[in-house]
Structure 1
Amino acid sequence: MFTYEELATATNGFSDANLIGQGGFGYVYRGIFVDGKEVAVKQLKVESRQGEREFKAEVEIISRLHHKHLVSLVGYCISETTRMLVYEFVPNNTLEFHLHGDGRPIMDWSTRMKIALGSAKGLAYLHEDCHPKIIHRDIKAANILLDFNFEAKVADFGLAKFSYDVNTHVSTRVMGTFGYLAPEYASSGKLMDKSDVFSFGVMILELITGHKPVGSSYKEDSLADWARPLLTKALDDGSFDCLADPKLGREYDHNEMVRMVACAAACVQLSARDRPRMSQIIRALEGDVSMSDLNDSASPEHSNIHSSHENSDIHTSQHNENTEESKRMVLDSQGYGASVEYSEPSTEYGSNPFISINESCSNQPGNETLSSSSNERSDQPGNRSGKDEEEQLKV
């Protein structure tokens, strides 16, 4: 536990020069302790209904999480006027910045594979090795931080929830980022680890295609809806031309592309019970198992990636209606990438890009370039906005 004075000193009095992020949650400052250790200090708004005892208990659980592919929480501070969380400093920005940032160098295929695998390992740890299980609830490219070796670290547990029973879901107010939201969660608030799996699948699609998860150019509702039939076709005929990021110039390993496409197809299925566990995704990405292992889900009912989704958890027409309304709200009022509480949308740090569209392939949703007036920094522990139920982690 840090004192307010220690964190004030580390951040030069929470000066504007040290401010590296802001949003619905509050502010993030870069800090340097007297021993030279760099940290990111998230100063939370004191609007939470969560009591001090609950805050301390949840921070205690999160602070015990240590994994190569998770951003570590190193401490916290509770004062009369504010609560603060102190994270390790990750120096090389976010996956969103490197993949979609205006004027960024092309990310090569091996780096994309490395980031996908690292992120999968971090998420699998939260789902399968933590007790209680932790559901992240806001997996997206902006919440994957990178070091200078492009090792991925899953960040921002600000929307996370505990699940004490592996066989049940958590009912909660819908929060997250449109384009990444699983359909069953967006429509009913039914949250489970497979909701994170869907979001991870969207992120894999970003790595494969180079496209953002939502844009005004999509005839379909989202990247996942646009890609779903193309994934099936690509797996059937072995051609990835209208899926693969054209900036790669076909410079990718064919077998690795097969594995990535198969994982994406499995993850973005409409039916939650048909999606694989994250440990299955890891094995598939590493090439340790056949692709059929992705169909062997945790539930008794096994899936088929090439199925028509007749047994989906929600009806396809209802899915389209829900996502169209959410998309309209985001495109009209927020812009790409914002984490929202759907009952009270708000803008987060770095979520005011403008999108330019240059369509080049009839099967592609458009080559979109992300530009932002703010300088996004990877040392921010992540972005979130909105209030949540009392059990929400304020991390």
Structure 2
Amino acid sequence: MFRTHDNWEKLVAAVIRREELWQLCHQHSRTSSLMSSLSSDFSSSFRSNLSFSNPNDRLSLPFQYLADISIDLSQEEKEPELVFFKDSPIEFGFEELLMAASYVLGEEIDTFKRTFVVCLRKYIKVVVKKFMIQSFAPNQLQQWIETIGSFNNENVAKSWGYGLCKGEMLCFYEYFPQGSIHAMLHRKPRVVLDCETRLSIAIGTAKGLARMHETFDGEFVHGNIKASNIFLNSHGCCLGDPTPGNFKISSYHPPEVSSGDKASQASDVYSFGVFLIELVSRRSPTQRFKNYVDWAREHYRDEWTFLVYDIEILKKISAKKHMFDMLQIAMCCVRNIPEERPIMNDVVDMLVKLL
């Protein structure tokens, strides 16, 4: 009981200190000394009393502090201009962004970017990705984000805009509170997914990718197809942003890309096939003890396909046929020879026929 009381006192003290720091941020200029004070105060007071496992705790950190953006708006520095695309549901200023509460999204820190969730006025949340411009070719990032902003499809995640700030680019995206398909498939407690839901997710993702492949005279390559970059939305699901050119090789990439070849639309098709296997099996391609595709292909050829399916599906006999058909489509997508893989419009047609 005494331990519980002590913890409660620590929690109350931390919350009070948080509010004091928040007022401090609004009453004083955003100087480097203030940010240094913030860092010291949070280290000695807030971090020692609260666990950061809960996103609601992490919302107490101002974005400028969390994202380590070194700019002093109290001096004569010009406030960076933020660019918003035509269909953006909200616009905000740079100062509002800096002082908004935020937390880091995801556990993995990418070499080229970091991702945050920022809570703006009226409890509107926006995903902010911070890129280091020096890691890319001149104007590459700006052309890339403007390309994403031009997409207008219910199965493609919307980009709201961007801003340039001292060698960094901040890109703004729609926030999906229901999370990614990766979280739905692999995190606990497990979410029950029936055959119809999985098929709907597959069709929505395929439609989004097919739409992207049609742009720029059929030359557009996504390069970032994976369960953690596919999100639930009001239309079922949508595909997240493509890679701007620099990416880490993952279990979703085909052999030719892993060997150093340039990503292509055919490699996107392969990655989608890996995602289909993951959707059917509920096994992550990053956690297999052997090659993920070879494992699925081996059981498919030997007609031991029930070893691939998620056990939840095996409980319903009527769903097995649909899952077998989805696995069959996946096998077409993950063919080793790129030229033998179908195009995404054909994949959409094959999946829709399963409805």
TM-score (norm 1): 0.61
Give the C-alpha shift of residue 269 in structure 1.
1.0
Match of 2:333 in 1: 267
Match of 1:25 in 2: 112
Structure 2 residue identity aligned to 1:224: V
Give the C-alpha shift of residue 190 in structure 1.
3.5
Give the C-alpha shift of residue 109 in structure 1.
1.8
Match of 1:178 in 2: 250
Counterparts of 1:151 and 1:101, CA distance in 2: 19
Counterparts of 1:28 and 1:72, CA distance in 2: 16
Deviations 1:162-201 (A, max 9, x none): xxxxxxxxxxx8x444321111111131422110111110
Give the C-alpha shift of residue 12 in structure 1.
3.0
Match of 1:48 in 2: 135
Counterparts of 1:19 and 1:76, CA distance in 2: 18
Give the C-alpha shift of residue 77 in structure 1.
0.2
Structure 2 residue identity aligned to 1:2: L
Change (3 A) 1:156 1:177: farther
Report if aligned partners of 1:44, 1:83 keep a CA contact under 8 Å in 2: yes
| Residue from 136, 150, 156 that aligns with 2:241 | 156
> Hey, which of these two has a bigger chunk of helix by percent?
2
Structure 1 residue identity aligned to 2:152: H
- Is 1:212 the counterpart of 2:278? The answer is no
- Is 1:283 the counterpart of 2:283? The answer is no
When Rg is computed on C-alpha atoms for both structures, the one with the higher figure is 2
Match of 1:146 in 2: 232
Question: Is 68-77 or 96-105 further displaced after alignment?
Answer: 96-105
| Residue from 64, 74, 82 that aligns with 1:2 | 82
Structure 1 residue identity aligned to 2:226: K
Point out which structure has higher relative CO (alpha carbons under 8 A, 6+ apart): 1
- Give the match's secondary structure for 1:146: strand
Match of 1:231 in 2: 300
Report if aligned partners of 1:180, 1:199 keep a CA contact under 8 Å in 2: yes
Deviations 1:37-69 (A, max 9, x none): 432111222432432x44333322221111111
Counterparts of 2:145 and 2:282, CA distance in 1: 35
In structure 2, stretches of 5+ residues that fail to align are 1-80, 84-90
Change (3 A) 1:29 1:62: same
Structure 2 residue identity aligned to 1:241: F
- Aligned pair count reads 265
- Give the match's secondary structure for 1:153: strand
Give the C-alpha shift of residue 257 in structure 1.
2.0
In structure 1, stretches of 5+ residues that fail to align are 161-172, 290-395
Counterparts of 1:100 and 1:19, CA distance in 2: 20
- Give the match's secondary structure for 2:105: strand
- Give the match's secondary structure for 2:307: coil
Change (3 A) 1:101 1:113: same
Structure 2 residue identity aligned to 1:24: T
- Give the match's secondary structure for 1:122: helix
Match of 1:191 in 2: 263
Report if aligned partners of 1:126, 1:133 keep a CA contact under 8 Å in 2: no
| Residue from 214, 222, 231 that aligns with 2:291 | 222
Structure 2 residue identity aligned to 1:30: V
Report if aligned partners of 2:221, 2:265 keep a CA contact under 8 Å in 1: yes
- Give the match's secondary structure for 1:241: helix
Give the C-alpha shift of residue 202 in structure 1.
0.7
Counterparts of 2:218 and 2:151, CA distance in 1: 11
- Is 1:253 the counterpart of 2:319? The answer is yes
Report if aligned partners of 2:195, 2:323 keep a CA contact under 8 Å in 1: no
- Is 1:68 the counterpart of 2:172? The answer is no
Change (3 A) 1:119 1:176: farther
Counterparts of 1:129 and 1:58, CA distance in 2: 13
Give the C-alpha shift of residue 84 in structure 1.
0.5
Change (3 A) 1:275 1:102: same
Deviations 1:333-372 (A, max 9, x none): xxxxxxxxxxxxxxxxxxxxxxxxxxxxxxxxxxxxxxxx
Counterparts of 1:64 and 1:131, CA distance in 2: 15
Counterparts of 1:136 and 1:56, CA distance in 2: 16
Counterparts of 2:353 and 2:176, CA distance in 1: 29
Counterparts of 1:104 and 1:11, CA distance in 2: 36
Counterparts of 1:94 and 1:127, CA distance in 2: 22
- Give the match's secondary structure for 1:42: strand
Report if aligned partners of 2:273, 2:333 keep a CA contact under 8 Å in 1: yes
- Within 5 Å, give how 1:377-388 maps onto structure 2: none
Structure 2 residue identity aligned to 1:84: L
Counterparts of 2:224 and 2:262, CA distance in 1: 14
Report if aligned partners of 1:26, 1:42 keep a CA contact under 8 Å in 2: yes
Q: Please provide the CA RMSD for this pair.
A: 2.7
Counterparts of 2:225 and 2:123, CA distance in 1: 31
